Amino acid sequence: MGTADEASAAQAVRQMFNSIAPRYDLLNHVLSANVDRLWWRRTARRFRPILADPDASVLDICCGTGDMTMALLKLRPGGARPILAADFARGMLCRGALKFGAESRRAGDPYAIPLEADALHLPLKSASLDLIVTAFGFRNLANYEAGLREFARVLKPGGQLGILEFSEPGGLVGKAYAVYFRRVLPTIGRLICGKNGPYNYLPTSVGSFPPPTEMLQLMHSNGYEQAAWEPYTFGIAGLYTAKRSLVV
């Protein structure tokens, strides 16, 4: 994709998420039968040692309405440095801030600072973060390599990255899931949110997302080491993890 194409693809994604923001949480929980909650919690637990350090700098990028951020906050000690929770769709971010912002939390409880920002151009200093997590957002980026490089720029050497994403399982489970994902899910999505586009977009974007072997290669060639993929729930989703290389 060229830069102009990337800019218009990003604009279309932002508009789509702003338009479904009021119904996003409801749709998510109905369509995933609440399994998404388990995935967010499992992802957060994977980074428990970093989250337990009150001084660790943590970014949840593509935070949307904030459920991944909330799972991360559960593992932060009282008085910890706030998490940064960033998204470029204001409609999504504002709903997230109502859950994780300082005003919505009890005094002394860990909280997150909402930041309206594009994942490909983060307004953050180089080598400033210990951990970046992103849940179901990375697939939407207009340029995956540019995203990985931008995350590598802001991570400290040895800092960790976690990308939770959908995947397309193989075998019989894959076949059954494909029927649900490509036929049932867009229909339910349309009924609840009254729009055609967004829930047709979901299976299409998952279908064109690189498979795990390719994603791991992309990670290794864009500034990371020890890249790994852990499938969740028969490989319907999975967590990519990696460390920012000591030398980039």
Ligand X SMILES: C[S@@+](CC[C@H](N)C(=O)[O-])C[C@H]1O[C@@H](n2cnc3c(N)ncnc32)[C@H](O)[C@@H]1O
The residues binding ligand X (CB under 6 A) are 10, 13-14, 17, 62-64, 67-68, 87-89, 92, 118-120, 135-137, 140-141
The DSSP secondary structure of the chain, one letter per residue, reads --HHHHHHHHHHHHHHHHHHGGGHHHHHHHHHTTHHHHHHHHHHHHTHHHHTSTT--EEEET-TTSHHHHHHHTTSPTTPPPEEEEES-HHHHHHHHHHHSGGGS-TTS--EEEEE-BTTB--S-TT-EEEEEEES-GGG-S-HHHHHHHHHHHEEEEEEEEEEEE----HHHHHHHHHIIIIIHHHHHHHHHS-SSHHHHHHHHHHTSPPHHHHHHHHHHTTEEEEEEEEEGGGTEEEEEEEE-S--
Q: How far is the CB of 207 from ligand X (least distance, A)?
A: 15
Q: How far is the CB of 24 from ligand X (least distance, A)?
A: 7
Question: Which residue shows structure tokens 């995947």?
Answer: 167
Cβ-based nearer residue to ligand X, 2 or 79: 2
Q: How far is the CB of 56 from ligand X (least distance, A)?
A: 19
Q: Which residue is nearest to ligand X (CB)?
A: 64
Cβ-based nearer residue to ligand X, 141 or 215: 141
d(CA 228, CA 93): 29
Question: Which residue shows structure tokens 């479904």?
Answer: 20
Q: How far is the CB of 82 from ligand X (least distance, A)?
A: 17
Q: How far is the CB of 97 from ligand X (least distance, A)?
A: 13
CB 158 within 8 A of CB 131: no
Cβ-based nearer residue to ligand X, 40 or 111: 40
Cβ-based nearer residue to ligand X, 199 or 224: 199
Cβ-based nearer residue to ligand X, 54 or 196: 196
Q: How far is the CB of 247 from ligand X (least distance, A)?
A: 27
Cβ-based nearer residue to ligand X, 21 or 80: 21
d(CA 86, CA 62): 6
Cβ-based nearer residue to ligand X, 32 or 245: 32
Q: How far is the CB of 94 from ligand X (least distance, A)?
A: 11
- Structure tokens belonging to residue 203: 């299976």
